[in-house]
Amino acid sequence: MTNQVERPQMMGLWLTTGLVVGTMVGSGIFMLPVSLAPLGANAIVGWVISIAGASSIAFAFARLSRSGGSSGGGIQAYIEDAFSPLVAFLTTWAFWFSNWTSVAAVSIAFGAATSRISPMFGSDTIVILAVGSIAFLTLVNAMGVRVSGGLNLATIAIKLIPLVGVALLLALRGASGAPFEPLAAAPLTVANIATATTLTLFAMLGFENATAPVGKVRDPERTLPRALLGGTISVGMLYLLSSSGVTFLLPAGQVAASPAPYADVFAAYGGETLVLFAAFAIAVSAFGTLNCLILATGELGFAMAARRQLPAFLARTRGTNTPVAAQTAGSVLAIGLVLSNSSRTTAGLFTFTILLSTSAILVVYLAGALAALRESGSALTKLVLAMALLFVAFAFYGSGPEADAWCLVLLGLGLAIHFAMKAINSRAATPALAAAPAALPE
């Protein structure tokens, strides 16, 4: 009987681009028109700035992945090459923390969206649905990146339908000659544009997860740049069309007061059947994003554990190098956060943790842009990277001083863990050196 070595599962351009799109298009975009409607034309300007800013950051990550060679070692390897193992660890630590807390938030969004589809699901089932979705998708990811990637592509096909549908309705209304609804009469000011940019920025997050897989992207120096830039720009343009389309198709006051603006658009043009389908697509959107986040969270935990910067058991894999231990650990942390939200006394902790996770991902953007800027490049390249750094600085400002201060505390905790693991590894190596036989004298 011969032993067969399983070939590693690899992600090509389609699966990698799917990871970018699948993580970006979550449930948040479907409620964003409610917040943007009162801002009128400022919202459109905000979208343009956010798309440009996110694309410039994606360009920075694309530069890193192109210079990282064919190993595809993931974000930690790219930052380590540019700076040091410590900076790379702190960046990956912030990335990992942001991801598993996002898993908790998105699972709650999935539970809430699913509870609206059928009378059999009530508000009291949201936590059960959230925990169940995390557990199920952790099992899916344990089967390997191609299984989870295939599921992601299937959910993308569904989650894009409401966005594309609104864009098509907007085009049909324009072609018919019927006037569009007027935008809210908000003055075009720097303050209003800043508010709109801050709101739209967070819908653009997620593309960075394509850099998380370790050694699983085929031809990474070509695949990752194309997936990062193509996916980010495509999603950004679709967001601009569909989100603005909602405010052009419905009165601004109705959008601002709506609990489900995309569903209201379909109700106005297609009736209750389309409304139910839109609710289903929103639930699928959250489900698909959750799948992508669990994949990336496992890869990030594995990358740190493989360098002995987290406990060694997190580096355990099965089958085709699937980091099941790190996936499980991240999911257990997320479930704990979901359960904390089920208590009124701890719901504030959940909200605060999600705010902190948003600031944490900006650390990743800052490190990526600085690392890319260290490389030689044309004047245009440096200009784009400088724009990325300015955008990150603006995003830190938009997050607020409290979240930014606690982000420093998070990095301090990571620093403590780094040195604690270094001491543990050093003590573990000392007995081995003592037990080694001395060299014979010559």
Domains contained in the chain, number: 1
Specify the higher pLDDT residue, 31 or 416.
416
For residue 104, the model assigns a pLDDT of 86
Answer yes or no: is pLDDT of 183 > 80.
yes
Q: 90: buried, middle or exposed (CB in 10 Å: 19+, 13-18, 0-12)? A: buried
pTM, rounded to two decimals: 0.81
Instruction: Residue 178: count other Cβ atoms within 10 Å of its Cβ.
Output: 8
b/e code 334-346 from CB counts within 10 Å (16+ = b): bbebbebbbeeee
Q: Which two tokens stand for residue 388?
A: 């990325």
Specify the higher pLDDT residue, 277 or 316.
316
Helix, strand, coil content of the chain in percent (nearest 5):
80, 0, 20
Specify the higher pLDDT residue, 249 or 359.
249
For residue 239, the model assigns a pLDDT of 92
The enclosing domain of 380 has a CATH number of 1.20.1740.10
Q: What is the CA radius of gyration of the chain?
A: 23
Answer yes or no: is pLDDT of 228 > 80.
yes
What's the half-sphere exposure (Cβ side, CA atoms, 13 Å) at 11? 32
* Domain assignment present for 339: yes
Domain holding 308, by residue range, is 13-420
Q: How far is CA 187 from the centre of its chain?
A: 32
For residue 136, the model assigns a pLDDT of 95
* Domain assignment present for 7: no
Answer yes or no: is pLDDT of 135 > 90.
yes
Beta strands in 16-55 (DSSP E): none
**Are 282 and 262 a contacting pair, CB within 8 Å?**
yes
Beta strands in 89-204 (DSSP E): none
What's the half-sphere exposure (Cβ side, CA atoms, 13 Å) at 312? 4
pLDDT digits (tens, 9 = 90+) for 335-357: 988 887 666 555 566 567 666 77
For residue 441, the model assigns a pLDDT of 44
Mean pLDDT of 39-51: 90
Q: State how far the Cα of 232 lies from the Cα of 148, in Å rounded to an integer.
A: 20
- φ, ψ of residue 206 in degrees (nearest 5): 125, -25
* Domain assignment present for 438: no
The residues pairing with 322 across neighbouring beta strands, listed in sequence order, are 318
* Domain assignment present for 233: yes
* Domain assignment present for 442: no
Mean pLDDT of 264-278: 75
* Domain assignment present for 6: no
**Are 234 and 22 a contacting pair, CB within 8 Å?**
no
Angle between helices 272-306 and 85-115 (to 10 degrees): 160
For residue 424, the model assigns a pLDDT of 87
Answer yes or no: is pLDDT of 70 > 70.
no
> Which residues have CB under 8 Å from 175's CB, separation 6+?
none
Q: State how far the Cα of 365 lies from the Cα of 346, in Å rounded to an integer.
A: 30
